[in-house]
Amino acid sequence: MDMLQSPTHSSAMNKDDLLVIAGAGGFIGGSLTRYFHDKGFTRIRAIDKKPLPDWYQRVPGVACLCMDLSEKDHCIRAVEGATEVYNLAADMGGMGFIERFRVECLRSILINTHLIEAAYQAGVERYFFSSSACAYNTLLQQDPHVRALKESDAYPAMAERGYGWEKLVSEMFCQEYWAERGLETHIARFHNAYGANGTWYGGREKAPAALCRKVIEARDTGKYEIDIWGDGHQTRSFMYIGDCVKGIDMIMHCDDLIATPINLGSSELVSINELVSLIEEIAGVKLQRRYALDAPRGVAGRNSDNTFIKQVLDWEPSTPLRVGLAVTYAWIEQQVADRKAGKRVVKET
Ligand code: NAD
């Protein structure tokens, strides 16, 4: 049988193991589906509640199912026969979404609660949960010159309201399913991911995609202005999607990372103003900046401390922001042109 060795550890997978990917109609789930397909996995079941035509990516040869995984019975059907389950499904978006729709964010708890129980009952070998840097204590993120967040900074807990608390409690489920019931779980705390095939308009998009779109629109309309949320001094790090999916694979197949939350993010810290400058450079324009000081801005500063991931995997997400942004910008530019021409584009539902 064809075996895939984990890049750093001895866990092995068969290429005909059934992988279930929840949230596969979205950005990261769609990219993870393509990643495993391209690695030669022949049995992938991709699931999302969105109708199939609205999925961001449909990978040929992959079984794609439209199911609402906040329902227990759907979760039981979803994981039937699975070796591994990846939970990338959540009701989420950028700052504009998670600050406004806290109840929707909290209700994502239903997905993980039912999916992990179904995975346990079905005897799956490994379960992955996509947590977030929003699980960290917000009191540690009040300064743009933030010290990077390390894994132990989640407790004492003061997570981001709504979205962050859902992540923290779902992490706890993963830890207790391992401690009490022996289900092998793996938990990554993603810091902002960006790249092609993600949300780029409609209200759920995150800063890199939103700013690429705004720069493209400013250039196309000849109105050389851009609205920026906040004062532009807030700082963040941004992880390229290629690093994100590779990191998920490595974390899931590392025996030292069972039920152990770990940062998966870039440590290249930039301010939003610097992010805009990078995109301007790529586009070859210079825009007049207008600051929307009462728009949602999130915490003042956030970065990923990668000491632990480097120690345990001898790796960290390292695609330079400039490189990943160029790819993302080109993809959004094409999407904008396609939408103008009346063609189907990635759209929010
Ligand atoms: P996304 O919104 O593009 O994808 C999430 C998908 O989950 C969507 O397609 C949505 O339709 C699906 N979904 C929602 N509710 C569902 C349900 N009840 N049943 C089935 N499917 C459902 O988001 P993403 O950026 O791909 O994020 C994936 C995961 O990573 C999420 O858990 C998110 O919280 C986490 N995360 C993402 C980032 C980031 O920067 N993108 C950062 C931190 C954490």
130 within ligand 1 shell (Cβ under 6 A): yes
Closest CA to 283 of 344, 228, 233, 329: 329
29 within ligand 1 shell (Cβ under 6 A): yes
Closest CA to 274 of 228, 243, 306: 228
d(CA 45, CA 79): 9
135 within ligand 1 shell (Cβ under 6 A): no
Q: What separation in Å is there between the alpha carbon of 219 and the centre of ligand 1?
A: 31
pLDDT-derived band at 203 (thresholds 50, 70, 90) equals confident
Q: What separation in Å is there between the alpha carbon of 1 and the centre of ligand 1?
A: 33
Q: What DSSP state is assigned to residue 228?
A: E
Closest CA to 134 of 98, 184, 82, 84: 98
d(CA 179, CA 193): 30
- Ranking 25-34, 59-68, 86-95, 129-138 by mean pLDDT, the lowest is 86-95
How many helices and strands in the chain, by DSSP H and E?
11, 15
Residue range 67-84: mean pLDDT, rounded? 98
pTM, entire model: 0.94
128 within ligand 1 shell (Cβ under 6 A): no
Given ligand 1 and candidates 32, 48, 101, 116, which is best to mutate, with the most ligand atoms within 8 Å of its CB? 48
70 within ligand 1 shell (Cβ under 6 A): yes
pLDDT-derived band at 349 (thresholds 50, 70, 90) equals low
Position 6 pLDDT exceeds 50 = no
Name the one residue in this structure whose structure tokens are 């004492």: 156
- Cite the DSSP H helix spans in 135-197: 163-181
Given ligand 1 and candidates 20, 57, 92, which is best to mutate, with the most ligand atoms within 8 Å of its CB? 92
The share of the chain scoring above pLDDT 90, in percent, equals 83
**pLDDT at residue 5, as a whole number:** 43
Residues 6+ apart with CB under 8 A from 111: 22, 69, 70, 75, 87, 89, 90
CA atoms within 13 Å, Cβ hemisphere of 119:
32
Count of Cβ atoms closer than 10 Å to residue 226 Cβ: 19
Torsion sign over Cα 160, 164, 169, 171: negative
d(CA 89, CA 262): 19
Closest CA to 33 of 7, 68, 65, 77: 65
263 within ligand 1 shell (Cβ under 6 A): no
Question: What are the backbone dihedrals phi and psi of residue 304, each rounded to the nearest 5 degrees, phi first?
Answer: -100, 125
State which ligand 1 atom lies nearest to the alpha carbon of 87.
32
User: Which one from 35, 127, 136, 163 is the annotated catalytic residue?
Assistant: 163
Is 163 among the residues known to form the active site? yes
pLDDT-derived band at 46 (thresholds 50, 70, 90) equals very high
State which ligand 1 atom lies nearest to the alpha carbon of 70.
18
**pLDDT at residue 347, as a whole number:** 67
- Give the residue whose CA is nearest to atom 44 of ligand 1: 132
Cross-strand partners of 19: 44, 84
**pLDDT at residue 4, as a whole number:** 43
pLDDT digits (tens, 9 = 90+) for 279-320: 999 999 999 999 999 887 778 888 999 999 999 999 999 999
Q: What separation in Å is there between the alpha carbon of 23 and the centre of ligand 1?
A: 6
99 within ligand 1 shell (Cβ under 6 A): no
